[in-house]
């Protein structure tokens, strides 16, 4: 099976790794060779270390896994793709242009998986000639370690597309929980409010980032606090998602915390930049 992965950022690399380790042929596409070179290096490192997290599974040689991934800036290799998993930023103008390109190259049978946390799947489908073959699949980060995804059925998404997507995800060792299409779906409609309010708590000097997260980890038993989660997702992605939610619902509860926007403007994006609410080591 051949799967095109659009976007070689944090999520795209995770999706490509999970697919390649599941023995799928992958075409990883991004806008520059520099980004792709960085992705190749990161993938090799992540694949090499993945054996430490999956000790019950016999690990393949990283070079063998990586040989299943084609790194390219061109869409030509998608002419025989079975699936596309799109992972570009949560900006409609960017996504719209990507789907215009995909429509020029992908076969009619190809199914589009939209890896989005907030943008309407029905809206994406309306910008293609195959709305019945467009489905949302919201992967959680880090992709190779998360066994469940949030799948989103657009207005026109067919049962055939849903079942084909479930089958693909099953080969990747992932279960799909199917929900309906409204901005933010379930996970981000709730979780982003939590992260945003946690940022307000820090901005208002009620508590430090460490104290906020300690309360959620030590009192509520969460594996990770809301601010560590925001850092892992990327503060820029969180802000983009909140902006989409605010625009979609016109509800002030989704207003971005000024501290969050200020940190993004300053380049403090979380794990991807090495500094957010916490310090991170960039691999």
From the list 138, 192, 228, 240, the catalytic residue is 138
Q: Is the dihedral of CA 274, 280, 281, 283 positive or negative?
A: negative
- Residue 189 CA to residue 75 CA, distance in Å, equals 33
Which residues 6+ apart lie within 8 Å of 90 measured at CB?
116, 117, 118, 119, 237, 240, 241, 244
**Whether residue 138 lies in the annotated active site:** yes
> Are the C-beta atoms of 35 and 158 separated by less than 8 Å?
no
How big is the chain by its Cα radius of gyration, in Å? Answer: 19
The catalytic residue positions are 138
């Amino acid at each position: 099976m051949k799967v095109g992965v659009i976007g070689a950022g944090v999520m795209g690399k995770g999706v490509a790794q999970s697919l390649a380790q599941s023995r799928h042929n992958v075409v990883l596409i991004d806008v520059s060779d520099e980004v792709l070179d960085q992705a190749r290096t990161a993938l090799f490192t992540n694949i090499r270390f993945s054996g430490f997290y999956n000790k019950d599974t016999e690990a393949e040689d990283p070079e063998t896994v990586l040989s299943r991934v084609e790194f390219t800036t061109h869409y030509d290799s998608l002419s025989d793709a079975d699936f596309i998993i799109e992972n570009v930023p949560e900006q409609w103008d960017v996504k719209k242009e990507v789907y215009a390109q995909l429509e020029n190259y992908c076969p009619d049978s190809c199914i589009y998986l939209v890896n989005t946390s907030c943008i309407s799947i029905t809206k994406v489908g309306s910008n293609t000639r195959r709305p019945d073959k467009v489905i949302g699949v919201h992967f959680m980060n880090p992709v190779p370690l998360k066994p469940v995804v949030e799948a989103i059925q657009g207005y026109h998404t067919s049962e055939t597309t849903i079942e084909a997507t479930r089958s693909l995800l099953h080969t990747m060792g992932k279960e799909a929980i199917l929900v309906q299409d409204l901005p933010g779906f379930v996970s981000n409609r709730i979780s982003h409010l939590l992260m945003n309010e946690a940022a307000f708590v820090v901005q208002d000097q009620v508590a430090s980032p460490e104290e906020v997260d300690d309360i959620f980890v030590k009192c509520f038993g969460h594996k990770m606090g809301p601010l560590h989660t925001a850092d892992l997702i990327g503060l820029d992605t969180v802000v983009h998602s909140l902006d989409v939610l605010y625009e979609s619902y016109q509800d002030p509860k989704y207003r971005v915390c000024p501290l969050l926007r200020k940190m993004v403007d300053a380049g403090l994006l979380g794990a991807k930049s090495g500094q957010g609410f916490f310090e991170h080591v960039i691999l």
